[in-house]
Amino acid sequence: MQLMDWIIAEGHNIVWVADQIGRSYECVRRYCNGSRIPRKADLQKIGRLTDGKVAPSDFFGQSEEAA
């Protein structure tokens, strides 16, 4: 699942996610639009925040295609 899809499905927004993982709005916006891949620590934080629904492979375009 893509991060933006999770944000919408859960009724959150980018600002809330940024606050939860300790990053700026702009940083998380870039994670959402694919122009930046999160660092390992941020991938772990996103995984915990989303209960594993957004996996590291989702940022590399492998989740849907590999299934």
Q: Where in the chain are the domains?
A: 3-66
The band of 62, judged by pLDDT with boundaries at 50, 70 and 90, is: low
The band of 63, judged by pLDDT with boundaries at 50, 70 and 90, is: very low
The C-alpha atoms of residue 64 and residue 25 are separated, in whole angstroms, by 26
Instruction: Give the domain 3-66 fold.
Output: 434 Repressor (Amino-terminal Domain) (1.10.260)
Q: Which of 22-31, 32-41, 57-66 has the least mean pLDDT?
A: 57-66
**What are the φ/ψ torsions at residue 66 (nearest 5 degrees)?**
-80, -20
The band of 65, judged by pLDDT with boundaries at 50, 70 and 90, is: very low
**CB environment 33-66: b (16+ within 10 A), e (fewer):** eeeeebeeebbebbbebbeebbebebbeeeeeee
